[in-house]
């Protein structure tokens, strides 16, 4: 059985993002530092993503839905989501992940639609609702 990657819209994510089973994974590189981020998102830059896959799985323990995004979710977001799918298939690791998704239009679309952007400098982001 092969996992498929599905897409989620910004408005769907806005409604779902506080569910405890969801992890948002930002794979932008240095832009995160300048442009803010979606609150409570994890940061796994695309350039080191493959090396950090085991660490990602540790950090998302207990979550069954992962939502990937980059700036536009056209290249890096889907590529990293695909890397996770391949990794899970090769390692035969289930990890309890049911849904691997990509945020349509990425962070830029999220921000352009006026959705809340967190500008904290915490690593990882600890904001869960104020922004
Ligand atoms: Zn934050």
Using CB atoms within 10 A of its CB, is residue 99 exposed (0-12), middle (13-18) or buried (19+)? middle
**Considering the entire predicted model, what is its pTM?**
0.94
36 alpha carbon to ligand 1 midpoint, in Å? 7
Contact 91, 12 (CB under 8 A): no
Report phi then psi at 54, rounded to 5: -60, -40
Is 61 strand, coil or helix? Answer: coil
Give the tens place of pLDDT for each residue, 109-129: 999 999 999 999 988 898 765
Distance from the alpha carbon of residue 93 to the mean position of ligand 1, in angstroms: 30
Tell me, yes or no, if 70 is annotated catalytic. yes
pLDDT of residue 1: 54
> How far apart, in Å, are the Cα atoms of 50 and each of 15, 89, 107, 110, 126?
30, 14, 21, 25, 24
């Amino acid at each position: 059985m092969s996992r498929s990657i599905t897409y989620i819209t910004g408005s769907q994510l806005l409604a779902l993002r506080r569910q405890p089973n969801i992890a948002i994974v930002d794979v932008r590189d240095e832009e995160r530092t300048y442009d803010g981020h979606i609150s409570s998102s994890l940061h796994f830059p695309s350039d080191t993503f493959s090396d950090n896959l085991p660490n990602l799985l540790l950090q998302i323990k207990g979550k069954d839905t992962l939502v990937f995004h980059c700036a536009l979710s056209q290249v890096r977001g889907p590529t990293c989501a695909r890397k996770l799918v391949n990794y899970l298939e090769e390692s035969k690791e289930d990890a309890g992940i049911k849904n691997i998704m990509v945020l349509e239009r990425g962070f830029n679309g999220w921000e352009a639609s006026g959705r809340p952007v967190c500008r904290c400098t915490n690593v990882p982001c600890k904001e869960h609702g104020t922004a």
